[in-house]
């Protein structure tokens, strides 16, 4: 149970950090703001889902 809580805490922190990094990097490109927001939300969420699927198999 404790390791599951740690996964949720660090997974959430990782997702937020990755989203912010992607958002700020995409601000320097010619992409629009809406595309930057969508990509900075979807990619980290997708990564978190994949990590959860791998973690829950064990």
What does the pLDDT read at residue 1?
A: 64
Q: Which two tokens stand for residue 25?
A: 């990097």
For the chain, the domains span: 2-57
The whole-model pTM stands at 0.80
Structural contact between residues 40 and 10, judged by C-beta atoms closer than 8 angstroms: no
CB atoms under 10 Å from CB of 27, counted, come to: 11
CA distance 42 to 37: 9
Q: What is the mean pLDDT of each run of 10 residues along the chain (58 residues)?
A: 80 92 90 89 93 82
Q: Which residues neighbour 40 within 8 Å (Cβ) at sequence distance 6 or greater? A: 19, 20, 22, 23, 26
């Amino acid at each position: 149970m404790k390791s599951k809580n740690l996964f949720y805490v660090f997974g959430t922190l990782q997702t937020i950090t990755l989203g912010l990094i992607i958002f700020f990097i995409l601000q320097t490109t010619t992409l629009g703001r809406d595309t930057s927001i969508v990509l900075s939300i979807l990619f980290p969420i997708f990564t978190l889902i994949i990590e959860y699927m791998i973690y829950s198999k064990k």
